[in-house]
Amino acid sequence: MKITSNPSTSPNSDIFLASATQEMDLGAKFVTSDGSTYRYVKVGATATVAGKLYDGPAEVANHQNIAVVTGALGATSITVTLGATAATLNQYAGGYVVVNDDAGQGYTYQIKSHPAADASASLVLTLEDDQKIQVVLTTSSQVTLVPNQYNGIIIHASTETGMPVGVATDIITAGYYGFIKTRGTVSLLQDASAGDIGGSVAASTTTDGTGTAGTGVLAPIGFYLATGVSTEYNPVFLTLD
């Protein structure tokens, strides 16, 4: 199937192609000739399995609600103090710093790059070129670091650790780059609670990598295109994008 909509790539690009090197921005969105939507991702430590649901990187509790050291008005960087978990080089590149309390609360800035930092150490977050601090941050301000949801996707965990981002349509080697589906018809493995045609599909809370009949516990990710069969791969219309 050929990509037709994004000018940053050739119209002959194939959604089944994968590579060891990054060829475009993570999260880049593409539409194929049938209207299906895909996102460009980096796979985490385990290869993808076709028909299984994937999440963004697991949240890091010690990188949430952390203190600000400096964030001057008009600055292009923010310095924060990590909690008791180290940060690797550019772990949050392409992600966001969300100001969640006190001065500057409600603002969101995209992260361009940052060095590695030890647990409980200061970390300087360089913002994207078009972003500057709009409201001065103080040492009372608190922020949460949010990774690029397409950088290091992992199998959906029955106990949520990240946000569902798509369904794999092919095997992509661990650490490689490729495409996952986010909207349109797809084969998706179900847990023991498959639903009826037209019913909502949610991420499973019992079985890793699967969908389940929507119960309102988690947000819907799509709808059943046929009456579901438990523990089998069922046709689903994804609505993540």
Per-run averaged pLDDT (10 residues), the chain, 241 residues:
47 79 95 95 97 97 97 97 98 97 96 98 97 96 98 95 96 98 98 94 96 87 95 97 94
- How would CATH label the architecture of 61-146? Beta Barrel (2.40)
pLDDT at 2 (0 to 100): 45
pLDDT at 9 (0 to 100): 44
Residue closest to 222 by CA, chosen among 59, 55, 53, 29? 53
Domains of the chain by residue range: 29-56+152-239, 61-146
For the entire predicted model, the pTM comes to 0.90
Task: Tell me how far apart the alpha carbons of residues 232 and 236 are, in angstroms, rounded to a whole number.
Answer: 12
Work out whether strand 220-224 and strand 66-70 pair parallel, antiparallel, or are unpaired.
unpaired
Burial 43-79, CB ≥16 within 10 A → b, else e: bbeeebeebbbbbbbebbebbeebbbebbeeeebbbb
Cα angle 116-120-124, degrees, rounded to a multiple of 5: 45
CATH entry 3.40.50 includes domain 29-56+152-239: no
pLDDT at 5 (0 to 100): 53
